[in-house]
Structure 1
Amino acid sequence: MNKNVIFNLPVKDLEKSKAFFAALGFGFNPDFSNEQAACVVVLEGSIYAMLTTETFFKSLINKPVVQAREANEVVICLSCESREEVDSLIAKATAAGARIPHPPEDNGFMYDQGFEDLDGHLWNLVWMAPKG
């Protein structure tokens, strides 16, 4: 059975959020994008982030929308192929307007750092040493 991971994130300004993720090097699937949502391709064929306007996001749920700058329910963690990739994505995120909540953590076998996107959603980038 083929499974994809698709997560929805409410955003205040869809165009600014699209520009932010494009600056990090992510592509978009136009077949699942419109004026209310944009489908970010995190990993082709398996992982996608749907950036949705808050109005559209509210139509999908029957609870208040968490304001990610005030509270968080989830941290999105992406694995990277190297420490350099972590640092490169953090630099791109910073240049595109992200907030960096903490310095990099280097545990030798694991290296990570996170950023908050324009709406305050937390993204963590992690590299783990291959076993061997």
Structure 2
Amino acid sequence: MKIQIWANLGVKNLERTEEFYTKLGFKKTPGQKSDELTSFLFGDDDFVIHFFKDENLKKAMKSDLSDLSKGNEVIFSISAETEAEVNDWAVKVKDAGGNVFSPPEGFQGMYGCAFTDPDGHKFNILKWK
């Protein structure tokens, strides 16, 4: 049996989301664009994250969505090969309209930074030392 896993996240503005992740260099998932969602591929194994309009995801989940200003739902980690790559990510994220809430630094045997997209979804970029 082949099992695939993907993530579904809510966003307020699909166009803004598309613009942000496109500026970061992520590829759109073929055939996954509609008035209700946009979708991107992450990493070498093409992990899929679907970004649904908040109201549509809330309706499908039959529950409220997390208030990202008060806590985390999840943090996605993206690997980097060099410290310079981590630093470049931080600049690209800021230029694309994201918020780098933890600037590049060394910690616990890693070098990394962390950011939120325009809707508050959290990601970190990590290079293992």
TM-score normalised to structure 2 length: 0.89
Report the 3-state secondary structure (helix = DSSP H, G, I; strand = E; otherwise coil) of the residue aligned with 1:69.
Answer: coil
Report the number of matched residues. 129
| Cα shift at 1:2 | 4.1
| Cα shift at 1:107 | 3.5
| Cα shift at 1:100 | 1.6
**Equivalent position of 1:76 in the other structure:** 76
| Cα shift at 1:121 | 0.9
**Equivalent position of 2:61 in the other structure:** 61
Q: Which runs of 5+ in 2 are unaligned?
A: none
Q: Deviations over 1:79-119 (max 9, x none)?
A: 11221221111111101111121232313841010001100
Call closer, same or farther: CA 1:45–1:4 in 2, change over 3 Å: farther
2:120 maps to 1:120: yes
Call closer, same or farther: CA 1:86–1:13 in 2, change over 3 Å: same
**Equivalent position of 2:87 in the other structure:** 87
- Given that residues 30 and 38 in structure 1 are in contact (C-alpha distance below 8 angstroms), is that contact kept between their aligned partners in structure 2? no
2:98 maps to 1:98: yes
Report the 3-state secondary structure (helix = DSSP H, G, I; strand = E; otherwise coil) of the residue aligned with 1:113.
Answer: strand
2:38 maps to 1:38: yes
Report the 3-state secondary structure (helix = DSSP H, G, I; strand = E; otherwise coil) of the residue aligned with 2:49.
Answer: strand
TM-score normalised to structure 1 length: 0.87
Distance, in Å, in 1 between the alignment partners of 2:5 and 2:90 is: 23
Q: Which runs of 5+ in 1 are unaligned?
A: none
**Equivalent position of 1:21 in the other structure:** 21
Instruction: Give percent identity, aligned residues only.
Output: 26
Q: Find runs of 4+ consecutive structure 1 residues off by over 3 angstroms.
A: 1-5
Call closer, same or farther: CA 1:106–1:67 in 2, change over 3 Å: same
Report the 3-state secondary structure (helix = DSSP H, G, I; strand = E; otherwise coil) of the residue aligned with 1:120.
Answer: coil
User: What amino acid is aligned across from residue 14 of structure 2 in structure 1?
Assistant: L
Report the 3-state secondary structure (helix = DSSP H, G, I; strand = E; otherwise coil) of the residue aligned with 2:70.
Answer: coil
Distance, in Å, in 1 between the alignment partners of 2:59 and 2:32 is: 17
